[in-house]
Amino acid sequence: MPSRTLSLNGEKVTVEAEDDVRLLWVIRDLLGVTGPKYGCGINVCKACTSHINGKAFNPCSVPLSAVKESDEITTIEGLADGEKLHPMQEAWIDQDVPQCGFCQPGQIMAAVAKVRQCRKEGREVDDAAIEEIRNICRCGTYNRIREAIKAGAENM
Amino acid sequence: MAQHRVAPAPPREGLRAPVGRRKFLGYLIAAPTLVVAAELTRQEIFGGPSASAAPILSAPQPPEAYDLLDFIRDAMRPTANLIRIEVNRDGTVSFALPRSDNGQGIITSTQMIIAEEMGLDVDQVRVTLADARPELLFNQITGGSSTTFSTYTPIRVAAALAQMRLLDAAAQLLQQDVRTLTSRKGLILDPLGNSLPFGDLAGPAASAVTEQVEVALKPREDFTVIGKPQGKTDARDIVTGRKQFVNDLKIPDALPTVVCRAPDLNGTPDDVENLDEVRKMPGVTDVEIISTGVAVRAKTFGQAIDGVRALEVAWNRGTVAGEDDASILKKLKAAELPLAVPAGVVDTVEGAFTFYFKSNSSLEPNSAIADVRSDGAEIWGPMKNPVTAQNAIAKILDLPQNAVTVHVIQGGGSFGRKLFFDAALEAAQASKAMGKPVKLMWTRADDSRQGRVHPMCTSRVRATVTNDSVLSFEQRHTSVSTDFTHGLGDAITATAAKAPLGNLGFSETIFELTQASPYNYGVSTRVLNEVDMRFNTSSMRNVYSPDVTTAREVVTDQLANKMGRDAYEFRREFARSDRIRGVLDAVAKQGRWGRSMKPGTAQGLGVHHEYKGVTAALVEIDCRPETVNRRIREAVTGPRVTRVTFAIDAGLVINPKGLEAQMMGGINDAIALILSSSLHLVDGHFVEASWDNYFYTRQWNTPPELDIVIVESDHDEPGGAGEAGVAATCGAIANAYARAVGKVPTYFPINHLDPFPFEPKPLVPPVPESPTDGLRYTY
């Protein structure tokens, strides 16, 4: 079984797994990093949303072999700067967004990436931009998510 | 270390005598630290008002697992059925809540209730979820939005007693009159500025004997915590990824396990062609046949899914083989009970509606961990009904109930789904068959196709009217049966529900106790008839009310029309109480009822009364073609709810932020129920296998404008919150839609009969392969 080195949340980690195992399971089941959640396994619910080189992606749909050692993978656990939370995490707490919390790591990672994308493309972080986010929240916290994204964006 | 204990409390006299205030009985528990308790059972069953959401039914049947001997044993432990608050030597206060939190925020509100009575900050109170405690009998079910209603007073009694005891201990140590002492942030202070932390008092305040003590509760006008907005106390853990759900737990050797299921709903395995081949697949450790399918255990969930996909299984047909929506609907219509008032004799308004199957799948799929040994079992899972689960698991494992430990883990959403414990039953079977611990998870496709559903039902309404009044209002609700065999949270009532006709009795009781009409409609009757068709059903958030209310509210608009009245004025006039008028007025004012709307857009109203509270919704909808036909990849767009104004009078509100959150969730549920989300039964199976098949509300469906008004209430007790947002909103959306398009819908959701906007996933293998092209969609 091949051994591979990944860059996960700023650390180099080595893992033994077959090439086709999806990154979500490598992260969760083999490395024990459980912030990204399984909600569908087919890149639909987006509960596993994490970042690869700063961009949102869904590790449920990426085989281990598609990731290079130089790729910086960030899960929700790696978003804060030590104990100092990312502005989006702060906004999430301020707006009291989470209910069960299962989708929220993915929601926050998606929100951060969406704001960065809008900035890069010179777009407003408005309702239209937020409605491009596909992450499901089955508790229905969407309205607070919207408020939090707008507030978090102001401090990013 | 020497134990200092205070003398028994003197009789309450003078300033501290609880004159004119209701007294409650609490217990001091003999322990090395201060432990106080209150009775949950008596409060709820024999003393307090009967809860609409927690009906008390006829005498329980003799139990099978929790039997007379158990009962005698526990009866001999007079404090066994108590809930306890403990003041620890480190100054913290801890409490194990015998309920299940799946995001509804009851851990936070419980912290608030204890903090209020004890003068603490909310984060100084540690609340965990209790393991299954069969001795609590009825008192360990989370459902019917009953948690706060049923636990509010008992928890306060225990907390108030702890506070009284700490004050008494401090008075002795500080040599001060107890009446001059105050309690703040975990310190007892005297007027001279001396203070003692709770931690120092926990030992001295402890009791050497267990005894009953009378206690009075803090008066409402002194509240400083209850009623103030409080963010969820686990928010930081959630936003940093630290909050753990059952599949995040690291239980030694509990490896990922997935079940291969039949193409038919509830099909069972007959034979497996390639067991040994699959056992040799990469990462796979075990493959065993269990009652519901073939369980594959592997190093990763991905490899367990690969094993499931590779299995070649011969299946027995399912419980509804060959059936489809139309055939089930036909059976329901045949079972509809007749309306008493004949049509055509007097002036009538009628409605007949169909509500299709819906999924109560939460985002966290059914999951559980099981470690089954020869002499006992340990189970972890998000269970709203752990006592019934413990009983059922013991039975299939052939173990005594007390050999099964059930740990209740916070869940990733419930919506009724976690009243049952389907994953825990399977995990127990798989662990036993494999002789190893398992972490068993349903795939999304399974959770949607084979998981529990809100049953298909019809609602017929006939009202008789004169020029200015409604003489009668009959509603006949006919439903595929809802499974209440979880009972009221204990093995005794669950056994009663499984007796012949037992479930129908439960259903009818729950229907009758929850479906109060908010209007004075003369002779008003509501009757439920259920038909058992062997679907996997369960209560779904708000159970019968979204459908019953939608039918009633749509017909109410028609009644107003027939009398030439404004829908708001009509409701105001026929409302049965001022509380109902209060919420109606609130939404009409805040939401600007009657404002001018563009063609193709409209407002609609809905009202509901349940869980000791009243609710009203005013919805605006946009049904213009440019909105309905807007395109989003693999999505249902359709009519857009653009604005919701919602008002609730929920009685005493513990946490306004939490209440608002629950209403927001209920509103987004209602949008899905009326406009977009349903399951389609085709040839004995449900088609939907993905969140891009089952169209729960997404960002592009949620209302851009949302106002939630909490109406001031003079009710002293908290009503239910978890489900209260759904029904009135459903009615309002249906009415707004009918007005916008000029046509009253006869089935819900309104898109149910449209062609599938997706390609159905294959049935064999039962789980689609994970894509490999994820890096093409980065942003």
What is the DSSP track for B361-425?
Answer: --SSPSEEEEEE-SS-EEEEE--S-HHHHHHHHHHHHT--GGGEEEEE---S--TTGGGS-HHHH
What is the per-residue pLDDT for B575? 95
- Contact list in B for residue A47 (CB cut-off 8 A) is 363
Average pLDDT value for chain A: 97
Q: Do B302 and A134 touch (CB under 8 A)?
A: no
Nearest CA in chain A to B361: A138
Q: Which domains does chain A have, with CATH numbers?
A: 3-77 (3.10.20.30), 87-154 (1.10.150.120)
Nearest residue to B659 via CA among B606, B707, B725, B726: B725
What is the per-residue pLDDT for B484? 82
**Is-contact A127 A86, C-beta < 8 A?**
no
**Is-contact B602 B739, C-beta < 8 A?**
yes
> Any CB–CB contact under 8 A between A119 and chain B?
no
- Contact list in A for residue B244 (CB cut-off 8 A) is 34
Select the residue from B107, B240, B695 to test the A interface by mutation, using most A Cβ atoms within 10 A. Answer: B240
- Contact list in B for residue A114 (CB cut-off 8 A) is 779
Report the C-alpha gap between B546 and B670 in whole angstroms: 8
Tell me which residues of chain B have a pLDDT lower than 70: 1-21, 41-81, 137-138, 344, 487-506, 512-513
Q: ipTM greater than 0.90, yes or no? A: yes
Tell which A residues from 70 to 89 touch B, by Cβ distance under 8 Å: 75-77, 79-80, 85, 89
Cis check: omega of the bond before B455, within 30 degrees of 0: no
Q: Which residues contact B315 (CB under 8 A, 6 or more apart)?
A: B262, B263, B264, B267, B268, B269, B270
SS3 annotation, B257-274: EEEECCCCCCCEEEEECC
Between A42, A93, A132, which is nearest B235 by CB? A93
What is the per-residue pLDDT for B148? 83
Q: At what angle do helices B656-671 and A142-154 cross, to 10 degrees?
A: 120
Three-state DSSP at B457 gives strand
Q: How far is CA B272 from the centre of its chain?
A: 38
pLDDT (tens digit per residue) in B143-170 = 777 788 888 888 999 999 999 999 999 9
Q: Do A140 and B669 touch (CB under 8 A)?
A: yes
SS3 annotation, B567-620: HHHHHHHHECCHHHHHHHHHHHHHCCCCCCCCCCEEEEEEEEEECCEEEEEEEE
Select the residue from B363, B438, B700, B777 to test the A interface by mutation, using most A Cβ atoms within 10 A. Answer: B363
The Cα angle at residue B410 between residues B114 and B727, in degrees rounded to 5: 85
What is the per-residue pLDDT for B341? 80
Q: At what angle do helices B386-397 and B422-434 cross, to 10 degrees?
A: 30
- Contact list in A for residue B779 (CB cut-off 8 A) is 55-56, 113-114, 117
- Contact list in B for residue A40 (CB cut-off 8 A) is 444, 690-691
Give the burial string for B593-612 (b: 16+ CB within 10 Å, else e).
Answer: beeeeeebbbbbbbbbbbbb
- Contact list in A for residue B413 (CB cut-off 8 A) is 99-100, 102, 138-139
Between A29, A52, A63, which is nearest B256 by CB? A29
Find tokens 């206060």 and name the residue: B93
What is the per-residue pLDDT for B493? 65
Nearest CA in chain B to A28: B248
**Is-contact B661 A144, C-beta < 8 A?**
yes
Radius of gyration of chain A from Cα atoms?
Answer: 15
Report the C-alpha gap between B307 and B305 in whole angstroms: 5
Nearest CA in chain B to A53: B778
Nearest residue to A80 via CA among A16, A22, A152: A152
pLDDT (tens digit per residue) in B75-97 = 444 455 688 899 998 889 999 99
Alpha-carbon separation of residue A125 from A90, A119, A130, A153, B637 (angstroms): 17, 8, 7, 7, 21
Nearest CA in chain A to B695: A136
Distance from CA of A54 to the nearest CA of B (A): 9
- Report residue B600 as tokens: 């193709």
> Any CB–CB contact under 8 A between A15 and chain B?
no
Report the C-alpha gap between B382 and B365 in whole angstroms: 10
Between A28, A61, A77, which is nearest B774 by CB? A61
Nearest residue to A17 via CA among A1, A29, A33, A31: A1
Q: Do B241 and A98 touch (CB under 8 A)?
A: no
- Contact list in B for residue A92 (CB cut-off 8 A) is 235, 238-239
Q: Which domains does chain B have, with CATH numbers?
A: 14-230 (3.30.365.10), 246-319+366-441 (3.30.365.10), 336-358+452-748 (3.30.365.10)
Q: Do A140 and B668 touch (CB under 8 A)?
A: yes
